[in-house]
Structures are given as C-alpha cells and as structure tokens.
Structure 1
C-alpha cells in the first residue's frame, strides 16, 4: 500500500526532518515498518534548501514556503500523486494539511485520512472561511482520527455527525526511567533538593502564573522544594528568583529533565483549546515514571482517567497545592506507562485496510 502524508516540518516546535518526533513521524515510520511505502511531505516555514531523506520504505521530503509561498509544496504534492499514485493521502498537523489531503485525494482518485491532535478551530477562531473548508474536508474524508474521545466527538459534530476514530498520543521511545541523580548532574541541577517542574511553552494562556503561585505556597510546607522550568519563554513572563530556568533544550535532553523531577505540573485552562488538549508531556512523564499533577480539563482528565489523584481543579491554586503535597510528601515514583507509538500505528493500519 502506498501512502502520502502531508505535514508541516515543525509541529509542536520540533523539526521532523532533523529531530524525528511524535505522531507525525513515528506513525508513518511504523507504517513503513509494516511494509507500506510511505512518503512524508513536510512544509518548512523557513528559507532553507529543499531536502530529501530515505529510510526503509519511508521517504521524507522537505519543501520551503520561502520565498515563493505554498506553490512549491503544492507542485511537489501533485508530482508525488502522479509518480507514487498513493492509495491514501493523510493530512497531519493543522487544518490546511487536512484540507489539502482531501482535495488531492479527490482529484487523483485516492482515499483520504485526516488526523488531528488539537482542536484546530481554536487556533485562529475568527478565520471562518478556513474553518468552513476544514469542516467540509472532514465530511468528505474517508477516515477521520483524533487524539482523544472529546476531540473526536467535537470533530464528529463539526462534520455532520460522521464517525471519528480515536488514535491516542504517546511518548517517543527515548522516554523511559533513568537514574535521577545522573540526570540532575548532567543538567547542573541540585541533587539533594525536591524538584517540581514544568516543561513546555511558558505562556500566560497555559496558566504559568498559577504555577508560580502554587510553587510559592508549596515552599511554605516544603522549604527544600525548587522549581525547574524548560521551554520557550513568552514576553511578559517574569520568572521568580531562584527558579532553575533551563531554556529551550534539545529534544534528547527532555527525558533527562523529566527524570530529574519529583513531580511534573501540566497546566491548562478550560477553553476551546484546553478542553480538547491531550498534552504529550503527560505521556512522556508517565513513561519515565514521574508523578504528575495536571489541570482537570476534559482531554487531560481522559488521559489520567485511571489516576484521579493526579487531577487538580483547573485554575484552583489550593487544590494544586493539596494534590502536589500528597505526592511530594510520599516521595514515590509514579506508575510507569510504556512508551511507543505501536498501538496508534496499528490503529492507522487497521483503518486503512478496512476502508
């Protein structure tokens, strides 16, 4: 079976061409391992040379949107449709790729699968024409998949009550338990302190100010507690004195950061984005055996449905403190959730074979 996957080159701030990552790379990779011939066509928003990389059955193409806009990507996509004659065109990562996948599939007689890991309509809510085309593409696609059941239900309603299958997020294979002291030493973090952490975009819409409030209150109970932050720092965010800010670190260091922690916080606000968010950091932390406390919003609550003690009422600092203290005072590691995208890739394969 021949597959053409459309995706931006840097979803979730990761460069798939140089640092393969997440569902956008590992699902195609595992489908290729099953014997499918997979072409992964990536759109770069940087002015960089077009590039090509080949693995067994997996062909990755990178096309730049600069300086000529989307035209070179469209030309390459049409060229691959003619040359490869894919059985399926798969749209990953944002509305535009799903819309393009459906149009290419319709024009060239292929089947179409559209996959979403977030509620893309929440990204630019005022861009109504794009959302209308997105919903039309969802209605006409042969298969639609979503990262969780809440998002699947929402997309089903948006597409006129069509079926939407769930393909969960997962942790990449490099996330597994490691020695905490070794990880702290490699990052220059204190080995004797209790460390709570947050990894991801340091942005007001993620509840970062709430995190700082929770940290200050927790320190009144646990004077040896310190806070570790990693990720991109947005303008207007003032990091409190004494916090360990590691900045935006390479992908290979993220497992070291998580394994250094006694507790990871995952903050989200109830919203059109937050309610349908399935934070991959939760999967990564649990694959490392790191305890978590996360905002009790629908998508996150589904991930932690077997770990209710890890859920705190969204935007409620006192409940976050309560849940965190219960974990930190016990000093236990979390239950280990195995990493890997094999299950999600198997679902993709089944959907492609039965439709």
Structure 2
C-alpha cells in the first residue's frame, strides 16, 4: 500500500526530520517494515524550506507554508498526489492538515485517516472562522480515526460513530530503561533520600505548564 503522511515538520518544538524525532517517524518507520511504501509531506512554517529528503527509507517532501500562501501549499500537495498515486492519506499533528487532507483525499478517491495526537481544540487553527465545524466533520466522516490516548478517543466518540483506533505514544527502550535509583541520583547530584517529583515534556504555556509549576509549589509545602 502507498501511504502519504501529511504532517507538520515541527512537533513539540522539534524538527521531526532533521532530528529524527516524534510519533510520526517512529510509527511509520515501523509500518514500512511490513512492506508499505511511506511518503511524508511535511509543512515547514519555520525555516520555510522547499526540498526533498530521505529518512529511514521514507521519501520526505518538505514544503513552505504561511497563511497567505495556503493555496500554494495545496497546489504542492496535489502535484505530489497526482504524481505518486497513493492508496491512503494520514493527516496528523495539526487539525488544519486534517481538514485540508480530508477534502483533497476525497477529490482523488483516496482513503483518509485522521490522527488525533493532541487536544486540537487549543491549536491556533481553531481561531479560523467556522473551523470547528469542518474539523468535526472530518472527525465524523474519516475512514478511520487514530487517537494517541484513550481520552482523545473518548472525545472523538462524542462526535463519531465509526471506528476509532487508539495507538499510544511509545518509548525507545534502548534509551529509556530502568537504572539503579541511588546511583542515578548520585550521578545527577540529587539528594539520595529525598522524595522527588519530576515532569518530562515540552515546556510551553499552551500545555498548561504554568499551572503545573504552581501545583508543584503547593506540593512542596506539603512534603
């Protein structure tokens, strides 16, 4: 099967191509091992690069984007679809790609999967007038919806009667593995016997980290 993944180049402030990072890369490099042909169409709204690349045998088409030239992005996407003849499109990382991808996939008779990897209600795309109406339409009518968590899947069930597949994020066990706690604390120069509460993730206000910091301040008083 020939699959096109329609995604942002940057997720969690990281470059998924140059840094070989993220849900998209890890998930679809594994899917490729089952004999599927995978391409990435990556929207670049930071460096605004226009180039092709290769990652784990995946053909990557990086194309620039700004809101003023959205028609140019759509034109680039259509050219690649017409040239490569895909069986399936998967839109992920931003609800705007979900809406654009859904209607373009429909035009070319391509099956469409919508990947909910986050709470898209807080994304900037939702500031576009009537965007919520179109995004709910995509959630309701896509051939399949994938969700990165059970919570996201439950939210989608409020809109959608069709199939929803929960595919949670994973971890590279070659990097993340259990180690001796005392030795690790000594290496990191942390108090050996203290009770330590940590946070792992991106530090962005949109993720509510400011609330978490305030909660940690209150928790510190208790422990």
TM-score range, shorter chain: 0.7 to 0.9
Q: Determine the C-alpha separation between the residues in 1 that align with 2:11 and 2:204.
A: 17
2:109 maps to 109
- Verify the 8 A CA contact 1:43 1:64 in the aligned structure 2: yes
Question: What is the Cα deviation at residue 120 of structure 1?
Answer: 1.1
Q: Secondary structure at the residue paired with 2:15?
A: coil
1:95 maps to 95
1:120 maps to 120
What number of residue pairs does the alignment pair up? 214
Note closer, same or farther for the CA distance 1:44–1:178 as it changes in structure 2 (3 Å cut): farther
Q: Secondary structure at the residue paired with 2:208?
A: helix
- Verify the 8 A CA contact 2:185 2:191 in the aligned structure 1: no
Q: Determine the C-alpha separation between the residues in 1 that align with 2:61 and 2:180.
A: 37
Q: Determine the C-alpha separation between the residues in 1 that align with 2:38 and 2:122.
A: 30
TM-score by length of 1: 0.54
1:230 maps to none
Q: Determine the C-alpha separation between the residues in 1 that align with 2:197 and 2:150.
A: 30
2:178 maps to 177
- Verify the 8 A CA contact 1:8 1:93 in the aligned structure 2: yes
Note closer, same or farther for the CA distance 1:12–1:190 as it changes in structure 2 (3 Å cut): same
Q: Determine the C-alpha separation between the residues in 1 that align with 2:8 and 2:130.
A: 21
TM-score by length of 2: 0.83
Q: Determine the C-alpha separation between the residues in 1 that align with 2:185 and 2:104.
A: 47
- Which deviations, in whole Å up to 9, do the C-alpha atoms of 1:20-42 show, x marking residues without a partner? 22321111111112221111111
Q: Secondary structure at the residue paired with 2:112?
A: strand
Which runs of no fewer than 5 residues in structure 2 stay unpaired?
none
Which runs of no fewer than 5 residues in structure 1 stay unpaired?
219-355
2:11 maps to 11
Which aligned runs of 4 or more in structure 1 are off by greater than 6 angstroms?
Answer: none
2:154 maps to 153
Superposition pairs for residues 1-355 of structure 1, below 5 Å?
1-55=1-55, 57-66=57-66, 69-123=69-123, 127=128, 129-159=130-160, 161-173=161-173, 174-178=175-179, 181=183, 185=187, 189-193=188-192, 194=194, 195-200=196-201, 201=203, 203=205, 205-206=208-209, 207-218=212-223
Q: Determine the C-alpha separation between the residues in 1 that align with 2:82 and 2:204.
A: 44
